[in-house]
Structure 1
């Protein structure tokens, strides 16, 4: 049975480019998420998994684009191959299909998934260490303050006088949640 060639593409942020993934692969449909791999809420992945039918081939640039961790990877692959969907990973040169499942194929999937999960853990650890080092050096982290100390005092005083919070937020060019944080501080 000949099905569709479906692509799943994911980048970690909206500023990243999806064009390098699945270049030169003829696809009938592509699902694209712009979300961190650690994020469980990836609507286009959910849509993709629901869309796939027996005989379809899911094309993915690399294992880390599809799954958050080893358990997630195994579950997705098992569910898809059980449905009769073939999954192709281009970077790793791996193809998983129900009819050709083998112990070696399973081992490769588990090893590569474990390496991807390990790499993600190392990245998070280095990031945490970098943040701690920056704090120890007295560097200020996070986005710069939206308002000066003087403006913050003005906003608080005007709120206490009963000024409309929505209008204040617009006037000072800040969001309402930011305004509420300023008031609470």
Structure 2
């Protein structure tokens, strides 16, 4: 049995130190994503799902670190529990091991819905801010980060899969897909 940590922050400049640093468990392996929790297409999440084995326990700081969508959250926990892997959310003091626990299920659904609501609210505020900034002539949009595009093209040309390229580069698979589509055109 291994104690596996999954840590996620939303951007590269955010610090992961506060998550699980004092969880009281000796962690055998840590998977860290610096991406939005809006999707499950995160390289380290996918690697963790592949790595986890029956009897392991996934340790996550809080529910919203694993997923920001209730459907994704339920699916991830179900997928892990089906493999015989437990999931421990430290902030909420909840453990999901596949055993029937109606109270834990209720709390998961409620807190997962709150995480989903928070994400929707953040996006709404962001859209409102962009509209105001555009009206004031202050918003130009962000510049595309093309620093890794040549390396992505080389790895794709060598026959490596999109998912493996994303893991190798440390980017989202959708970035690799965009580079691949642009190279075809």
The TM-score, its normalising length taken from structure 2, stands at 0.71
Once the two structures are superposed, residues 70-93 of structure 1 have per-residue CA deviations (whole angstroms, 9 ceiling, x without a partner) of: 000000111111222111111222
| Residue of structure 2 equivalent to 1:54 | 54
Structure 2: 5+ residue stretches without partners = 144-185
Residue 5 of structure 2 is aligned to residue 4 of structure 1: no
Once the two structures are TM-superposed, the CA of residue 7 in structure 1 deviates from its matched residue by 0.4
State the distance in 1 between where 2:141 and 2:49 align.
36
Distance 1:57 1:135, change over 3 A: same
User: 5 Å matches for 1:125-140?
Assistant: 125-140=124-139
Distance 1:112 1:60, change over 3 A: same
State the distance in 1 between where 2:139 and 2:110 align.
40
Once the two structures are TM-superposed, the CA of residue 113 in structure 1 deviates from its matched residue by 0.4
Residue 14 of structure 2 is aligned to residue 16 of structure 1: yes
Secondary structure of the 1:112 match is: helix
Counterpart contact for 1:40–1:68, Cα < 8 Å: no
Larger Rg: 1
Once the two structures are superposed, residues 121-161 of structure 1 have per-residue CA deviations (whole angstroms, 9 ceiling, x without a partner) of: 001001111111122223243358xxxxxxxxxxxxxxxxx
Distance 1:55 1:143, change over 3 A: closer
State the distance in 1 between where 2:139 and 2:80 align.
46
Structure 1: 5+ residue stretches without partners = 145-185
Once the two structures are TM-superposed, the CA of residue 39 in structure 1 deviates from its matched residue by 4.0
Counterpart contact for 1:60–1:89, Cα < 8 Å: yes
Residue 115 of structure 2 is aligned to residue 116 of structure 1: yes
Counterpart contact for 2:8–2:32, Cα < 8 Å: yes
Once the two structures are TM-superposed, the CA of residue 68 in structure 1 deviates from its matched residue by 3.6
Number of residue equivalences: 141
State the distance in 2 between where 1:115 and 1:134 align.
28
Distance 1:43 1:92, change over 3 A: same
Distance 1:143 1:29, change over 3 A: closer
The CA RMSD over aligned residues, in Å, is 1.6
The TM-score, its normalising length taken from structure 1, stands at 0.71
State the distance in 2 between where 1:39 and 1:113 align.
14
